């Protein structure tokens, strides 16, 4: 059975380089609180506003359109058909092996909990898949199951990555526009600040390294520490999506080198409190031409700050798994 078949068999969802980032990030947060906060918040000061933020978050337009189209489709008589183009729902059939394994599992009538980060077997296969798909042989060390977390779809993976990156209303999530609408909605729910880098047809919807640096530094401020002004950067996370939804933009190797060099330089220039780079690559595997990922050009420093988000929804066709 090929790697991707066993991947199916074990019903995965999404992967990320959690272990690396966790260590680095918590360290960074500690340093930040030592430098930045004169007053440590008391428990009573902390107001969790998730419920009101969720209530205030407007429904995504794409979700409204998808819901209304689904209602329309289901209300039609069976002899009439509508081609539903409101959402990019893949119509690939799932592999026979995946089907067989799911049926086998359901026939046991037992669906117990797995380990919190996902079952070890699944995470091992995910790591093999990432190493093979991204030709990780050139890196040392390559990925193993410790670098993998299985989530309930990429949506949850993105939420988790943003949740450990956003800590205060000053914390900025930077991404290119047009963008998948959920980044903004999740940032709002988590109480961070959503900021964007506009792209257009002239730059084929791909930012340059200089665009990233410029927009990153727009969110830099100075803070007094022991009578000195310390440069603080408010960007906590940069979300980059290639192949992109909705623009379809893809990277070539020159662009990937330029962007990764710029991100590396920013990490060196702003080590405190640091930032994460979230690569949303859920469309990996459904492109007709060869595929370039920022991961392949990332320095070890940058790689340690990266999350890679993959999904079984698109190229593997198991949208509702």
Residues near ligand PLP, by CB under 6 A: 88, 153-155, 180, 241, 245, 280, 282, 311, 313
Phi-psi sector, 140: left (phi>0), alpha (psi -120 to 50), beta: beta
What tokens does 147 get? 């670098």
Whole-number Cα distances in Å, 203 to 247, 280, 298: 12, 20, 22
CA atoms of 171 and 193, how far apart (whole Å): 6
Question: Which residue has the closest beta carbon to ligand PLP?
Answer: 153
Shortest spacing between CB 311 and ligand PLP, in angstroms: 3
CA atoms of 59 and 69, how far apart (whole Å): 15
CA atoms of 34 and 51, how far apart (whole Å): 30
The continuous run of DSSP H or E covering 303 comes out as: helix 300-303
According to DSSP, residue 272 is labeled S
Q: Which residues lie across from 194 on neighbouring strands?
A: 173
Tokens 């059939």 correspond to what residue?
Answer: 93
């Amino acid at each position: 059975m090929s790697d991707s078949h066993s991947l199916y068999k074990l019903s995965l969802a999404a992967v990320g380089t959690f272990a690396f980032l966790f260590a680095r990030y918590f360290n960074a947060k500690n340093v930040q609180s030592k430098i930045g906060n004169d007053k440590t918040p008391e428990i009573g000061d902390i107001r969790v506003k998730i419920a009101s933020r969720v209530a205030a978050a407007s429904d995504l337009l794409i979700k409204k359109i998808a819901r209304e189209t689904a209602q329309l489709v289901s209300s039609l008589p069976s002899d009439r058909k509508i081609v539903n183009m409101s959402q990019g729902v893949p119509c690939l059939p799932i592999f026979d092996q995946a089907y067989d394994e799911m049926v086998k599992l359901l026939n046991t009538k037992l669906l117990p909990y797995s380990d919190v980060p996902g079952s070890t077997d699944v995470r091992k296969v995910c790591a093999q898949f990432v190493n093979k798909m991204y030709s990780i042989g050139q890196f040392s060390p390559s990925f193993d199951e410790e670098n993998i977390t299985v989530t309930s779809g990429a949506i949850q993976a993105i939420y988790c990555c943003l949740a450990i990156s956003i800590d205060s209303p000053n914390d900025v999530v930077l991404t290119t526009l047009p963008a998948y609408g959920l980044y903004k909605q999740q940032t709002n729910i988590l109480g961070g600040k959503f900021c964007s880098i506009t792209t257009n047809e002239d730059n084929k919807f791909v930012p340059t390294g200089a665009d990233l640096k410029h927009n990153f530094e727009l969110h830099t401020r100075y803070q007094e520490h022991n009578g000195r002004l310390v440069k603080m950067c408010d960007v906590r996370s940069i979300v980059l999506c290639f192949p992109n939804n909705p623009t379809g933009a893809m990277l070539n190797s020159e662009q990937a080198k330029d962007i990764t060099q710029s991100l590396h330089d920013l990490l060196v220039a702003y080590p405190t409190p640091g930032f994460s780079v979230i690569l949303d690559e859920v469309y990996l595997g459904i492109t007709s031409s060869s595929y370039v990922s920022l991961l392949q050009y990332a320095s070890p420093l940058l790689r340690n700050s990266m999350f890679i988000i993959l999904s079984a929804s698109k190229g593997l066709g198991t949208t509702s798994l």
